[in-house]
Structure 1
Amino acid sequence: MRADRLVSLVLLLRQRGRLSAATLARELEVSTRTVLRDIDALSAAGVPVYAERGRHGGFALLPGFRTELTGLSHDEALALLVAGSRRGAQVFGLGSALASAVLKVVDALPDGYRDTAAGAARRLLIDPETDLLARRTDADEVPDAVVTEVRKAVFGGHRLRIRYAAVDQAPRWRTVDPIGLVTVRGQGYLLATRSGEDRTYRLARVLAAEELDEPARRPDRVDLDQAWRDRSTRFRTGGDQVAVLVRVDPARREELVATALAVQAEEIGEDGWLRLDVTFQDARHAEWALWQLATQAEALAPRWLRTSLRDRAAAVATRYEAAQPNMPTW
């Protein structure tokens, strides 16, 4: 516990500069006497912490002092910053850098800590490739050459030329001003502007990319989280969206909601099933989502969706009613 506290004390001084003993005690949830003893211990260990007297005095580290892991490359350090999502590192082309960085971190640990950490890590499984129903949740696969060029343009603040294959369109080249990268459930997206208009590109659809020398036309600072929320809102409220009234078994509610863009209303029917007003991206999305739920969901409206699902089910039933030629019977 004390070792953790000493590290926290050093990090507080590194990040916030001079702090009083009272402030350190409050942050670390210990007494000021304990803080003074910890300061003495750090000094004895060679950490250059010193005291400044006076009304606005406190403790500080000598300028330029820092604790650091040696040997980390830029990509390895970046991979550690996105290590909260292993799939995020893979989508952004940082999977190998993450593995290399982890090896260096483990190597830098004291022997006792290394053994303990390795044992603990074997007890944790984060974001596996399949869920309990054995459904795969593979991340998008983006060629290294493509994601490297995209990353360089995003971080370097340069314009980017991409060959993009939009849905139901022939691939074509376009020049964009990159804003940032986002990963959602293993899928990577490039947020950019094109001719001053917001654009969102799925990385898996970028067939080729080239960082240009020309500076990107973008603000110096960006709230990427807010930018993503804004674009998500526009996506949900635009296009050829379809509103559907659905009757669904409560056991399958979450599966239905997970595929919909939004739930506008919900109530419990007399039969115990739920009735939801949900919005889908388009007609194809609505039919696909309802088809996955088989007989545990029913589209009550619109009429065209009921007809489409009925015709699809009838076609499947007809196919399986017909005897297979030259096939043995059991």
Structure 2
Amino acid sequence: MYFCDGFGVRADRLVSLVLLLRRHGRLSATALARELEVSTRTVLRDVEALSAAGVPVYAERGRHGGFALLPGFRTELTGLNHDEALALLIAGSRRGAQAFGLGSALASAMLKVVDALPENYRDTATGAAQRLLVDPETDLLARQITTEDLSDAVLAAVRRAVLAGHKLRIRYAAAGQGPRWRTVDPIGLVTAREQGYLLATRAGADRTYRLSRIVAAEELDEPAERPERVDLDRAWRERSTRFRTGGNQVVALVRVDPARRDALVGPALAVLSEAGEADGRVRIEVTFQDARHAEWTLWQLGTHAEALTPQWLRDALRDRAAAIAATYAERASINRSGSR
């Protein structure tokens, strides 16, 4: 969920900008852009939006100038509790908040943000928000977006351990295995493609756990063995690279209709090579997570794609198609016999 004004500014950035000015007194557009990880142009638009909302932000010229709040100004967001404030900080993705068990906190926090606005601006902002929809439950083809079944109690325990820097005891059911207890040092939480993950170490080795496979969790009092600061984005990229280059990955050479290229490349782990062909199709070499992943992806593309290698993938797709054709042929034969 986004909180939007006429400039489409997200609530988390607006709140962060105000709080930065409260904390530092005066900051240049460059400093604000660095803190908020946006461009200076975006900062200027944010300042204009805050001014339009009635927040007294003013500019000071000169070498040591910048933006500041009028002396004595205080926001009315002090009613936010810890989880609500945390939810706002990740409000750029509504599903991200849900993946970490903060969906209800996000909804509550957004109500407080709206309530803190001047009355005339509140009506405008609420009306604008009603005309924007982010991450609906289905796509244009009415396909339901898959959501994981996550326990609020488990997520709360995991989240507390991550934020407090404590060791975490989890009962985890790895793929194809029964659940068992293990103690880990939590590093951080990541959400990717509608799925949540816990990044941790166990006995000093990197481990990544699907949140939906954690059936129970206990925060321990013992401090976690982990670095004081972490670059989660970098850690996720490194683990993703290791995942793509190890295990049971399958490399396939595929001819595909260029109009359906993205449907092939999107689910793939990596694209190794790509070249056009004389008939207009594209020849792409891609890596899949495993055999089932490769077969499923090619099957969805039907006649729009053809697996050239490996041979076992061609055989699997042929056998599946033959089985379906036989099923429908048998039913057609029965119907013809009954109509005589």
**TM-score bracket for the superposition, by shorter chain length:** 0.7 to 0.9
Q: Confirm or deny that 1:206 pairs with 2:214.
A: yes
Aligned equivalents of 1:9, 1:241: Cα separation in 2: 45
1:61-210 equivalence runs, <5 A: 67-210=75-218
SS at match of 2:77: coil
**Which of the two has higher C-alpha Rg?**
1
Cα 1:70/1:200, change in 2 over 3 Å: same
Partner residue in 1 for 2:249: 241
Relative contact order, higher structure (CA 8 A, sep 6+): 2
Q: CA deviation at 1:109?
A: 1.2
CA contact (8 A) 1:189 1:200 kept: yes
Note the residue ranges of structure 1 that are not aligned, 5 or more in a row. Answer: 30-37
Give 2:295's aligned amino acid. E
Identity, % of aligned pairs? 71
| Cα deviations by residue, 1:136-192 (Å, 9 ceiling, x for unpaired) | 223322110110000010001111111111111111111110000001122100000
SS at match of 2:331: coil
Q: Confirm or deny that 1:216 pairs with 2:201.
A: no
Partner residue in 2 for 1:314: 322
Cα 1:56/1:202, change in 2 over 3 Å: closer
Moved more, 148-157 or 304-313: 304-313
Cα 1:206/1:64, change in 2 over 3 Å: farther
TM-score (norm 2): 0.80
Question: Alignment length, in residue pairs?
Answer: 308
CA contact (8 A) 1:160 1:176 kept: yes
Moved more, 285-294 or 60-69: 60-69
Q: CA deviation at 1:70?
A: 2.3
Aligned equivalents of 1:145, 1:176: Cα separation in 2: 18
Q: CA deviation at 1:67?
A: 3.5
Partner residue in 2 for 1:226: 234
Partner residue in 2 for 1:296: 304
Cα 1:190/1:243, change in 2 over 3 Å: same
Q: CA deviation at 1:19?
A: 6.0
1:230-269 equivalence runs, <5 A: 230-269=238-277
CA contact (8 A) 2:76 2:116 kept: no
Aligned equivalents of 1:8, 1:317: Cα separation in 2: 59
CA contact (8 A) 1:91 1:141 kept: no
SS at match of 2:178: coil
Partner residue in 2 for 1:34: none
SS at match of 1:136: coil
Aligned equivalents of 2:282, 2:256: Cα separation in 1: 5
Cα 1:320/1:99, change in 2 over 3 Å: same
Give 1:143's aligned amino acid. S
Of 279, 282, 287, 1:274 maps to 282
TM-score (norm 1): 0.82
Partner residue in 1 for 2:12: none
Cα 1:59/1:254, change in 2 over 3 Å: closer
Moved more, 56-65 or 152-161: 56-65
Cα 1:100/1:283, change in 2 over 3 Å: same
Give 1:251's aligned amino acid. A
Q: CA deviation at 1:98?
A: 0.9
| Cα deviations by residue, 1:207-255 (Å, 9 ceiling, x for unpaired) | 1111111110101100011101111111111111111000111111101
Q: CA deviation at 1:267?
A: 1.0
Aligned equivalents of 2:102, 2:67: Cα separation in 1: 39
Note the residue ranges of structure 2 that are not aligned, 5 or more in a row. Answer: 1-8, 10-14, 33-39, 45-50
